[in-house]
Chains A and B, each alone.
Chain A
Amino acid sequence: MVNGVRLQKTPSKASWWRRTLGEWPAVLFFLLPTVAVLGTFNLYPALYSLYLSLFEWNGLSPAREFVGLANYARLLASGEFWNSLRVTLLYAGGVTLLALALGLGVAVLLNQPILGQSVYRVLYFLPVITPTVASGVVWKYLFDPTQGVVNRGLLAVGLEGPSWLSDPSWALAAVVVVGVWKRVGFNMVVYLAALQGIPRAYYEAAQLDGAGPWQQFRHITLPLLAPTTFFLIVTALIDAFQVFDLVYVMTSGGPLSSTDVLGYYLYRQAFRYSELGFASAVAYVMFALIFVVTVVQFRLSRGGGQGEG
């Protein structure tokens, strides 16, 4: 999908096929190991779960009942599903936008020649390589209403913090904070690389024309970062749509389903409720959503995002 964008027009498709015919056996031979592994461990399970989504099955009973599209109908009629979808969109939107803005801010700052630049870069990148489960556990402590650092800090400035993960109005915000914390470093690194690719001459020319720092940022940096921004948005959204481990560790989808993201909803159906057919339907709906979001983004970016993907 990504690479298909830049297919050169070949003189004639038929002749190309004919010309390369002799190479196909060799090509297939060399592809075989990859195809076999991907086929067995990725493609077959994916197709099998599509098949399973047409059945009602608890994973144990000898009989599976063919129900056609009933699982999908049940899914679309379920309030829990729509809640999960809403929560997922909020989470994905929140994490993507906040981490994008913060990542850009940090990257611009750390692109300046400041003391301890590389130390800061490492510090900001650390959360990215910290295992999610470990981070979740530690943040759970930080968000503890009485003992946690967060609320103690708030108390120090005279604010009484909520009981974050136990409060349906705050739990999702707390999880988003951790999601952002884990994402910022990655965005920063990618932005830094892109920033360093912008020729200094542009800024010098702008200065000669009398452009201030903000104008330079607005009219040089931002537009030239657009392809990077696009790449970061796509990957962040795909990532955030599939969030599971963070929620599993921090809130188990609660309180009152306020953090019940689709990934956790799917897990509950499959592994807590043993509703394997229904869970497969959830997985395919998730797949369709991510697919649509990605296609829409690529369409939208046709104009501006050249050379990225």
Chain B
Amino acid sequence: MKANWLKAIVTAALALLSLGTAQKLTFWHYWDGANGQVLQGLIERYQKEHPGVTIEAVFVPGGELLTKLQTAITARQTPTMAISDLVAMPLLTRSGALAPLDDYIRQSNLNLADYFPGPLVYGLYQGKRYSLPVSASNLGLFWNKNLFRAAGLDPNRPPRNWDELLRFAKQIKEKTGKWGIELFTQGGEGTTWQTQVYFWGAGAEFLDANNTAPAFNSAQGVRALQFLVDLVQKEKVAPVAPWGLFGRGEAAMVMDGSWMTQFFPQQVNFELGAAAFPFAPGGRPATNMGGEQIFIFQNADVATAKAAWDFINWFSSTPVQVEWDRGTGFLPVRRSVANDPAYRAWVSNARPLMRPFVDSMAFAKPRPPVARYPQISDVFAKYVQEALLGRLSPKEALDRAAQEVTPLLR
């Protein structure tokens, strides 16, 4: 009896040991809820199709992941691979802790040209690529069709440029007493990333081409900020107020993220429309972009790193990405996904509001991938607020912001 038990234990231990020689990968991510379940499902399938590979996905709350990665990197206790919000990629690529992916990409014939250009900007450092985009989101226009109707506007026709946006907003304010459009005025990155859309839409750039100097205080930049200030101060069709007016039916239009195509329909009691965000007359279509990037850590041994790459390569493949984006509602990072018939059919049937966001990926711009972006963003937002509150003229505000941003780019 006892001997049998011993035997069983020894066998089990041996089995465990033999598993140990197989590839065990750890993967840190912050995808929770439904997204986490989709990921888990994909990982389980991958493990079934690739016996000998075990992927241990570790969920870390979004706000803590970067701190946890910092600690892991300092202590040299990194996981095999991880994801990060793209905003943190400049810090991570400069840490020296990530493995360059260029050789893998070449060997696997991964077609980078199939990726939308925006997300690919992240993860590049000193000519080497350290990460790949695996998900995206962007900003667009939502409008309240009920308020459009009440104001005597065509509820199915969103504004296509700033002139129309202003005209519609004024008409809504006049006829319904509601705000024409809601701006994010509460400062920080929320203000910056919305304001950037107006700046790009007016033909302005945020930083210069090498990301070494501010460029937002150009004539086009001043024009964009002037437009926003006029919405608040002169036309009084947008308030400086806490976020959330649109959802409560108190503002007729808003710039918000692709993820809201899922949440707004559950939250609001009016008919919704969504479109690409309008741009300045003579400007260009533009939107901002978020998302996640995946990467491998430097100190994994060759075989483990290769196994991690194989998973990333599989995860990045068009069919898996189609499934991933359908399950999570993330926007495609690859054109082949955006054009995939099954994906397009899913958008049309399940998420019709998301169509313009998918199409906007082609011109979605990245926020500059500089290490001190969070500081730059806060400075910029502060001066946008100064202008919106009428305390500084747009030109003055942007010049002062530029002055404070310049040393942060050194």
B385 cross-chain contacts in A, Cβ below 8 A? 254-256
B253 cross-chain contacts in A, Cβ below 8 A? none
A61 cross-chain contacts in B, Cβ below 8 A? 94-96
Contact mask A143-174 → B, CB, 8 Å, 1/0?
Answer: 01111000000000000000101111000000
Contact mask A251-287 → B, CB, 8 Å, 1/0?
Answer: 0101111000000000010011110000000000000
Size of A's binding interface in residues, CB under 8 A:
25
Q: Which partner residue on chain A sits nearest B94 by CB separation?
A: A61
Q: Which partner residue on chain A sits nearest B386 by CB separation?
A: A256
A242 contacts B by Cβ under 8 Å: no
Chain A contact surface mostly: loop
In the complex, the answer to whether A268 meets B378 with C-beta atoms within 8 Å is yes
In the complex, the answer to whether A252 meets B186 with C-beta atoms within 8 Å is yes
A168 cross-chain contacts in B, Cβ below 8 A? 389
Q: How far is the CB of A191 from chain B (nearest CB, A)?
A: 36
B352 contacts A by Cβ under 8 Å: no
Q: Which partner residue on chain A sits nearest B95 by CB separation?
A: A60
B382 cross-chain contacts in A, Cβ below 8 A? 254, 256-257
Contacting A at CB under 8 A, from B20-58, are none
B92 cross-chain contacts in A, Cβ below 8 A? 60
B265 contacts A by Cβ under 8 Å: no
In the complex, the answer to whether A254 meets B187 with C-beta atoms within 8 Å is yes
B70 contacts A by Cβ under 8 Å: yes
B74 cross-chain contacts in A, Cβ below 8 A? 59-60
B240 cross-chain contacts in A, Cβ below 8 A? 163, 166-167
In the complex, the answer to whether B186 meets A255 with C-beta atoms within 8 Å is yes
B241 contacts A by Cβ under 8 Å: yes
A303 contacts B by Cβ under 8 Å: no
In the complex, the answer to whether B185 meets A166 with C-beta atoms within 8 Å is yes
Q: Which of B105-113, B214-222, B287-295, B368-376 contacts A (4 or more CB under 8 A)?
A: B368-376
A272 cross-chain contacts in B, Cβ below 8 A? 374-375, 378
A58 contacts B by Cβ under 8 Å: yes
Known: A58-B371, A147-B248, A257-B382. A271 touches B91 (CB 8 A): no
In the complex, the answer to whether B389 meets A254 with C-beta atoms within 8 Å is no
B250 cross-chain contacts in A, Cβ below 8 A? 146
B375 cross-chain contacts in A, Cβ below 8 A? 272-273
A62 contacts B by Cβ under 8 Å: yes
A182 cross-chain contacts in B, Cβ below 8 A? none
Known: A166-B240, A271-B67, A272-B374. A62 touches B386 (CB 8 A): no
State in angstroms the CA–CA spacing of A168 and B382 once bound together. Answer: 11
A140 contacts B by Cβ under 8 Å: yes
B66 cross-chain contacts in A, Cβ below 8 A? 274
Contact mask B349-378 → A, CB, 8 Å, 1/0?
Answer: 000000000000000000000011011001
Contact mask B66-84 → A, CB, 8 Å, 1/0?
Answer: 1101100110000000000
B97 contacts A by Cβ under 8 Å: yes
A163 cross-chain contacts in B, Cβ below 8 A? 239-242
In the complex, the answer to whether A60 meets B242 with C-beta atoms within 8 Å is no
State in angstroms the CA–CA spacing of A270 and B168 once bound together. Answer: 44
Known: A252-B188, A254-B186. A58 touches B91 (CB 8 A): yes
State in angstroms the CA–CA spacing of A59 and B74 once bound together. Answer: 8
B69 cross-chain contacts in A, Cβ below 8 A? 60
B242 cross-chain contacts in A, Cβ below 8 A? 140, 144-145, 163, 165-166
Q: How far is the CB of B186 from chain A (nearest CB, A)?
A: 6
A58 cross-chain contacts in B, Cβ below 8 A? 91, 371
State in angstroms the CA–CA spacing of A60 and B92 once bound together. Answer: 7
Q: How far is the CB of B153 from chain A (nearest CB, A)?
A: 23
Q: How far is the CB of B68 from chain A (nearest CB, A)?
A: 11
B70 cross-chain contacts in A, Cβ below 8 A? 59-60, 274
Residue from B241, B372, B386 in contact with A145 in the complex, judged by beta carbons closer than 8 Å: B241
A268 cross-chain contacts in B, Cβ below 8 A? 378
Taking Cβ atoms with an 8 Å cutoff, the residues of A that contact B are 58-62, 140, 144-147, 163, 165-168, 252, 254-257, 268, 271-274
Known: A62-B96, A255-B186, A272-B374. 20 other contacts (CB 8 A): A60-B69, A60-B73, A60-B94, A145-B239, A145-B241, A145-B242, A163-B242, A166-B185, A166-B186, A166-B240, A166-B241, A252-B188, A254-B186, A254-B188, A254-B382, A255-B185, A256-B391, A273-B372, A273-B374, A274-B70
21 A/B residue pairs, CB under 8 Å, sorted by A: A60-B73, A60-B92, A60-B95, A60-B97, A61-B94, A62-B96, A146-B250, A147-B248, A163-B239, A163-B241, A166-B185, A166-B240, A167-B240, A168-B389, A252-B188, A254-B188, A254-B385, A256-B187, A256-B391, A273-B375, A274-B91
Taking Cβ atoms with an 8 Å cutoff, the residues of B that contact A are 66-67, 69-70, 73-74, 91-92, 94-97, 185-188, 239-242, 248, 250, 371-372, 374-375, 378, 382, 385-386, 389, 391
The 9 A-B pairs at the shortest CB distance, nearest first, are namely: A60-B95, A254-B187, A59-B70, A272-B374, A273-B375, A62-B96, A166-B240, A60-B91, A273-B374
